[in-house]
Structure 1
Amino acid sequence: MEPEPARRCHRVMMPKTTLHRRTLLAALAGAGTAALTGCGPLRSPAAVPAASGLPPDPLLIEVDGGLGVLRGADHQAIPQGIATADGRLAYASVPDGGDTALWRIDAGRGVASARVRLPGRWVPQTVSADGTRVALTTEEVSVTKERPAGRDVTPVLIADAGGVRQRLRLPGNVVPEAFTHDLAGLFVLEWLPPQAPDRYRVRVVDLATGVPGPLFTRAKGPIPAGAEEEMRGDGRQALLAPDRTVLYTLYTHQPDHQHTRDRISGRPGSDVHAFVHTLHLAQRWAYCVDLPHPFGAGAADGHAMAITPDGGRLYVADVTSGTVAEISTEELTVRRTSTFVSATGPAYAVAGPGQLHLAAGATMWTSDLAELDVAGERPVGGPVTGLALSPDAARLYVGRQAAVSWHDAATGGELGRAAVPGLVGLRGAARPA
């Protein structure tokens, strides 16, 4: 039987407002196709391959027990692993007696380096954007989900594929977040007070001296003592810009929060419940892009963020309220907002050339970026656990319960599906290093 042609939903103009601101296989399932809701058949491009049971691209996935790479019919576990934001390289570690074995993996090709032995027990915490350095701590703490246990000193190990580079004992209760672009510094979240943490601030550690200090303002001046932002609430998601120089982190539910710019000026600030913390890894400054109401009013996991391939636009979606905001990454302002769709459950988003793909619950939607409205809607038959685009942006991958499917990114038509027992999340495409 011939598959039913995909259909494009009729375009509904939504009101807009212009505003000034982070495992494996056993069986493979058969493939299938489905239709977009709406009217008017849309033919799939001739270049789209026939449906198959093997993913055409290697994928970085989360499964019960950790991180992994799905490569056709093969899988590769990455125990206690962490990957670069672009999915090229990953570091894995396992206990080795009283020490730790560490190795690096080319996620796209599956090639692993020789194992090196690190003295003591360590867990990878963050990896540099180029994949050449990894910071390890004695316990894993997510910079976007958890608060650490109380402590006054934090041991940190800096390593690469050849072994230990530096061993630090940083004062206070800190969690490594990212390396500076030149690898000379390490951005950390410093939790306060250290023994009973309830808030945190971003600082940068000079790796030559081990001394932490404040960031710069966007005007590239040092932040005065006492003016550093102290944040509470939920860090929902972090994204690295395509050129690897800027880290964007979405925060929601920030009670009694004041931005650095307000603390410097003495202004009281505004009643903001969500913002995008922009951290420039090369120039070492930070700036917060405030998101308008209703962002941050709903569940933190109902928010998702995506960046365009050229890095020029950042999109934040709140599926609880059905709102999407477009941020100019050059101006660091919210350029416009749009009423999109409302849903419940964790939200996921990814942006391709001219399109924004969004999913929550058991449904995914496509938006044309020029209009920022709903151009297609598709039920996927179960909760979505992640979205990812192939390196050429031709295929949209959808994480499902114990499975992954791939679709024509232009039409949404399903091209194939594979069972992945234990799958709990889809991270992204695994590109060759």
Structure 2
Amino acid sequence: MANISISRRTVLTALAGAGAAALVGCDAARRRTAAPAVAVPDPLLVELEGGLGVLRGAGRQTIPRSLATADGRAIYGTAAAGADTAFFRVDTATGHASRRVALPGRWTPQAVSADGTLVALTADEVGVTEGRPGGRAVTPVLIADAGGVRQRLELPGNFVPEAFTDDRGGLFVLEWLPPAAPDRYRVRVVDLATTAPGPLSTRAKVPVPPGAEEEMRGDGRQAVLAPDRTTLYTLYTHQDDHRHTRDLVSGRPGNVHAFVHTLNLVERWAYCVDLPHPFGAGPASCHTTAVTPDGRRLFVADVASGTVAEISAQELTVRRTATVASGAGLAHSAADHDRLFVGAGPTVRTVDLARLGVAAEWPVPERVTGLVLSRDGARLYVGQPGAVSWHDPATGAELGRAAVTGLVGLRGLAGTA
């Protein structure tokens, strides 16, 4: 769900030659000639300039062209091995890397199953929320686990893997249209037994009829997995004149500017929760979403307008909205049972979920690049360029700070649950 934001494709070539142990050794050698690194209380998944990384105590580990599991316990990494790809799994609690297996050709991990056992890889690094792929008539996809290749697909068209079905028998993908010069996309599911892409079902568990599949042109801003790992929520903005499947089936006009695409990984249906104005009217980067630990509520914040919306995960409806403090900059969020934390620019705000109003606000030295709550709720980690600090969530008081060279953002918690 630890909830890991999936808003970036993942993640030093130092690993290519000698594995994770060599990288840790190099870090230790550097520390002998530099100031001691500050220990981070909780293991963190971070995005570094060199790829996905783990902060574990005073240690730092970077893994290139990689992808973390939903629970943050492992990272699947890749490295060039001649004309092939070395593929391995890293235990984020210990830093131990599994035996490397060779994948024929060059591959990058794009999606990992909710149970953390299967990985879908493609030849490029364009992820679901990272722009559009180049034109192509066929998309090769490799399905692998820690033991090696399990299946190779040759999908006719232009596809980007998004997630596995809960039973690992299907792969949700974005199909970009037209394949040679893509400008829009739709969500489909590939049956791994037949290798055939097909439409999803509606929320009523009825297959979407021909011609009624939604085609989207906007920005996939951010994706979060529900804590029980059965539902994937993706926030989309700038969907001018977009029509949902329900509108296409009924003949109703559609014109929404932002919505949450809800993908049920168990029953293979999708449903879009429309967000009211002003969501989607401002920059996509000012929007952020977070789910509560019990999975019952999803919150979307637009810092440009200062608007927050609460969505019921059971009803898939917007229950209420409120206008809180506005801001500017790339937005990030995290939630517990009672509070929503929103960071943008050099400011962090706490929104009280009972009244949906700002309860606290505090500055940080530099712009926020990510927010992560510790599992016990005692620390709120705030990413900033080149550093991570941790704060008392109730007061904002800084409890500690560690310099992290090349830190781009915080991704979630690592290690054991």
Q: Same fold (TM over 0.5)?
A: yes
Deviations 1:251-278 (A, max 9, x none): 0001221000000111112x31000000
CA–CA distance in 2 between the matches of 1:324 and 1:108? Answer: 35
Match of 2:137 among 122, 135, 152: 152
CA–CA distance in 1 between the matches of 2:71 and 2:215? Answer: 29
Match of 2:159 among 158, 174, 177: 174
Q: Is 1:308 aligned to 2:298, yes or no?
A: no
Match of 1:212 in 2: 197
Q: Is 1:66 aligned to 2:66, yes or no?
A: no
Q: CA deviation at 1:145?
A: 2.0
Match of 1:387 in 2: 371
Q: Is 1:114 aligned to 2:99, yes or no?
A: yes
* SS of aligned partner of 1:410: coil
Q: CA deviation at 1:53?
A: 3.3
Q: CA deviation at 1:409?
A: 2.1
Match of 1:248 in 2: 233
Match of 1:297 in 2: 281
Q: Is 1:86 aligned to 2:108, yes or no?
A: no
1:27-426 equivalences in 2 (<5 Å): 53-269=38-254, 271-426=255-410
CA–CA distance in 2 between the matches of 1:292 and 1:205? Answer: 32
> Rg larger in 1 or in 2?
1
CA–CA distance in 2 between the matches of 1:54 and 1:65? Answer: 21
Percent of aligned pairs with the same amino acid: 70
Q: CA deviation at 1:233?
A: 1.1
User: Higher mean Cα deviation, 292-301 or 65-74?
Assistant: 65-74
Preserved contact between residue 69 and residue 75 of structure 2 (Cα < 8 Å): yes
User: Higher mean Cα deviation, 245-254 or 57-66?
Assistant: 57-66
Preserved contact between residue 346 and residue 366 of structure 2 (Cα < 8 Å): yes
* SS of aligned partner of 1:301: helix
* SS of aligned partner of 1:253: strand
Structure number with the bigger relative contact order (C-alpha 8 A, sep ≥ 6) is: 1
Deviations 1:304-324 (A, max 9, x none): 000000000000000000000
CA–CA distance in 1 between the matches of 2:165 and 2:274? Answer: 24
CA–CA distance in 2 between the matches of 1:133 and 1:416? Answer: 37
Q: CA deviation at 1:29?
A: 8.4
Preserved contact between residue 50 and residue 63 of structure 2 (Cα < 8 Å): no
Q: CA deviation at 1:358?
A: 0.6
Match of 1:34 in 2: none
Preserved contact between residue 29 and residue 53 of structure 1 (Cα < 8 Å): no
Q: How has the CA–CA distance of structure 1 residues 104 and 111 changed in structure 2, closer, same or farther, with 3 Å as cutoff? A: same
Preserved contact between residue 85 and residue 239 of structure 1 (Cα < 8 Å): no
Query: What is the Cα-based RMSD across aligned positions, in Å?
Result: 1.6
- Unmatched runs of 5 consecutive residues or more in structure 1: 1-21, 31-51
* SS of aligned partner of 1:146: coil
- Unmatched runs of 5 consecutive residues or more in structure 2: 1-7, 13-22
Q: CA deviation at 1:216?
A: 0.2
Deviations 1:118-140 (A, max 9, x none): 11111111111111000000111
Match of 2:18 in 1: none
One-letter amino acid of the structure 1 residue matched with residue 201 of structure 2 = F
Preserved contact between residue 353 and residue 393 of structure 1 (Cα < 8 Å): no
Preserved contact between residue 137 and residue 158 of structure 2 (Cα < 8 Å): yes
Q: How has the CA–CA distance of structure 1 residues 272 and 280 changed in structure 2, closer, same or farther, with 3 Å as cutoff? A: same
Preserved contact between residue 106 and residue 432 of structure 1 (Cα < 8 Å): no
User: Higher mean Cα deviation, 155-164 or 260-269?
Assistant: 260-269
* SS of aligned partner of 1:359: strand
Deviations 1:79-102 (A, max 9, x none): 111112332221000010110000
Preserved contact between residue 394 and residue 408 of structure 1 (Cα < 8 Å): yes
Deviations 1:258-300 (A, max 9, x none): 000000111112x310000000000000000000000000000
Q: How has the CA–CA distance of structure 1 residues 71 and 255 changed in structure 2, closer, same or farther, with 3 Å as cutoff? A: same
Q: CA deviation at 1:410?
A: 2.7
Preserved contact between residue 227 and residue 263 of structure 1 (Cα < 8 Å): yes
CA–CA distance in 2 between the matches of 1:359 and 1:108? Answer: 27
One-letter amino acid of the structure 2 residue matched with residue 412 of structure 1 = G
Match of 1:37 in 2: none
One-letter amino acid of the structure 2 residue matched with residue 301 of structure 1 = S
Preserved contact between residue 109 and residue 432 of structure 1 (Cα < 8 Å): no
TM-score (norm 1): 0.88
Match of 1:49 in 2: none
CA–CA distance in 2 between the matches of 1:342 and 1:188? Answer: 35
Q: CA deviation at 1:108?
A: 2.7
Question: How many equivalent residue pairs?
Answer: 390
Q: CA deviation at 1:189?
A: 0.1
Preserved contact between residue 243 and residue 256 of structure 2 (Cα < 8 Å): no
